[in-house]
Amino acid sequence: MRLLLASSMFAVTPALRALVREPRGKSVAFIPTASYAERYGGAGRLMAARLRMLGMRVHVLDVARVPARSSVGDGFSDTRQCEQYRRAAHILRSADMFYVCGGNTFYLLQELRESGAADIIRERVMQGVPYVGESAGSVVAAPDISYIGLMDARDKAPRLESTCGLSLIQGAVVPHVDSHMMGAEAKDILRLYGKYAPSSGACPTCAPVPFIPLRNDQALVVDGNRKRVVTHRTLAGALSRSWF
């Protein structure tokens, strides 16, 4: 399993080559969905252009626009909706890498679930397809995202019934530590819960997992059984700590 989990896109690019050694020509399923639920979300969507500059083939997929999986199971009278679902599934199943933007984690999880993308992403990541998460995209990789309620508004996901995350890692990223915009919320999470993320009770198989606090210039790199936090002290990273 190969993961790159970061607070900010500014920590992603320097660490990306450790995860995807030959990015040119690789296909990326770029999921900006979480960013549309927050006013600052446009910044994260700029990463699509950066990935293209690296020579990657970027397929932007807003999973909120994908017809709900339950509706597909019942059959569509609208062939356009059928085609939308098939196209989304093809992008996810053929991607060489997943990139999941930041924004509102609860909204992201709701839409990943309803579209069926959550199951496909988890299956393919377990098969070795790299997963890159930024902020909410990192948080959703945890077994349970309930802890992020101190940072993200739960009411932006009114149809979300469970806070069980993708469980890509036995840990829980706390993004934006020491940052200007959300540093106080990150501190509140760590102060309230201590070293371990709680289980909300919605995930009966979830046990508390350790928090992984990340500044905006840091990223967690997971390659098989090896895990390490890398720091990239760049001007862009420093500015992101001031802005976000």
Query: Residue 221 in contact with residue 234, Cβ under 8 Å?
Result: no
Q: Which domains does the chain have, with CATH numbers?
A: 2-243 (3.40.50.880)
Q: Does the annotation count 176 as an active-site position?
A: yes
Catalytic residue among 8, 115, 176, 199: 176
CA dist 100 and 179 (Å) reads: 21
Catalytic residue among 8, 35, 135, 240: 135
- pLDDT, tens only, 147-192: 999 999 999 999 999 999 999 999 999 999 999 889 999 999 999 9
Q: Does the annotation count 199 as an active-site position?
A: no
> Is 240 a residue whose pLDDT tops 60?
no
Largest CA distance in the chain: 53
Mean pLDDT of 97-104: 97
